[in-house]
Amino acid sequence: ASYDMGGHDTYMHKEIFEQADAVDRVLRGRIDDRFSTVHLGGLNLDAREARQIRRVKILGCGTSYHAGMIGAQMIEELARIPADAEPASEFRYRNAVVDPDTLYIAVSQSGETYDVLAAVQELKRKGARVLGVVNVVGSAIAREADGGMYVHAGPEVCVVSTKCFTNTTVAFALLALHLGRTRDLSVRDGKRIIEGLRKLPAQISEILDQEEEIKKLAAEYAEAHSMLFIGRVRGYPVAREASLKLKEVSYIHAEAYPASELKHGPLALIEPALPTVAIVPNDDLLEKNRAALEEIKARSGRILAVAHQHQEKADQTIVVPKNEDELDPILMGIPLQLLAYHTALALGRDIDKPRNLAKSVTVE
């Protein structure tokens, strides 16, 4: 497929800068202010069925799996349904117990990823209810699922997913709000989340306005041989995704770890040559995260923080706008897409077609 580049040099750059509009699209027509909820007609799940769900299991690969990790946390937080995400590629090989009270959700940009499709087919054969959270309309996974929602990111050409990741996390916020409002999420909390969702497009633009500063940081980090990404609870999937972005497009080795696990091993790696990128939201874990930064600083590690306010222990901070705690993960990875992009550019990489990768892996 070939689409207009709109003045951008790469699709990755174009797609990063389309995110405010893309998020606007996934929200459009779905918010119901009267009942502080959202309408998701394609789910094919009425309120009584929604209330009977005992667990949620989210399946996807790569970036879609990371979006699913964020989605699982949102569903637990807003709907109080136990939820987790697993790579579809693992799930389909382990003869998992398929439970009739679990809602399965398959996540995929292309809707054609074979590992995800095979997991969906296996689940359906065993009588499970499967929803799709998919970007490409009419794709194999969308057709195979019992219902679901489109993420409306628009065509994504770059092999490295950016805008679809963001839109998928917003789609999960909508789903979590919807499920929450069929259960115990109050009208007030529903309103609070809706207000937060409406702020996202303008906040994304604010982040993208920082491109020049991020580009300068990238020139520095392009010299690294390896980087560590850390985050805790809501910040952890953000760290995972940022680490994958950097690896895919710059070929710099990167590893993501929960900040809470540092002392259980990876602290041994810390030295000036291994920079750490830390996700530090202003939520109830702020002090815990600051303590992790101190641990790293005490061992002469270099730190780049992505935070809602300047972090003293970090060498540099990228400040992102604050949203509702539950929605912060949607925004915090966006500056790191730009960091990965500019790092790869500085290294002269083939940004839209990284070596060894395909846009969708449709074979076994």
Other Cβ atoms within 10 Å of 93 Cβ, number: 12
CA distances from 139 to 144, 214, 351 (A): 9, 36, 26
Nearer to ligand AGP, 113 or 323 (CB): 113
Q: Is 322 a catalytic residue?
A: no
- Which tokens belong to 110? 């292309």
Check if the beta carbon of residue 104 is closer than 8 Å to that of residue 130: yes
Question: Is residue 128 within 8 Å of 104, Cβ to Cβ?
Answer: yes
Question: Cβ 360 to ligand AGP, closest distance in Å?
Answer: 5
How many angstroms separate the CA atoms of 142 and 107, rounded?
Answer: 10
- Contacting residues toward ligand AGP, per CB under 6 A: 61-64, 108-110, 113, 116, 159-161, 248, 357, 360-361
Residue 164 Cβ vs ligand AGP, minimum distance, rounded to whole Å = 7
Measured from the CB atom, the residue of 113 and 316 that comes closer to ligand AGP is 113
Residue 89 CA to residue 42 CA, distance in Å, equals 26
CB of residue 232 to ligand AGP, shortest distance in Å: 23
Token code pair at residue 204 = 């994304």
Angle subtended at Cα 72 by Cα 69 and Cα 73, rounded to the nearest 5 degrees: 90
C-alpha 248/C-alpha 352 separation (Å) is: 10
Q: In what order do the strands lie in the sheet with 147-150?
A: 83-87, 55-60, 102-108, 129-134, 147-150
Q: Which is nearer to ligand AGP, 139 or 316 (CB)?
A: 139
Structure tokens at 209: 């306005």
Q: Which is nearer to ligand AGP, 247 or 313 (CB)?
A: 247
CB 331 within 8 A of CB 279: no
Shortest separation between residue 172's beta carbon and ligand AGP, angstroms: 14
- Out of 124, 215, 297, 359, pick the active-site residue: 359
Cα-atom radius of gyration of the chain, to the nearest Å? 20
Query: Closest approach of Cβ 338 to ligand AGP, in Å?
Result: 15
* Closer residue to ligand AGP, CB minimum distance, 328 or 352: 352
Q: Which residues are catalytic?
A: 359
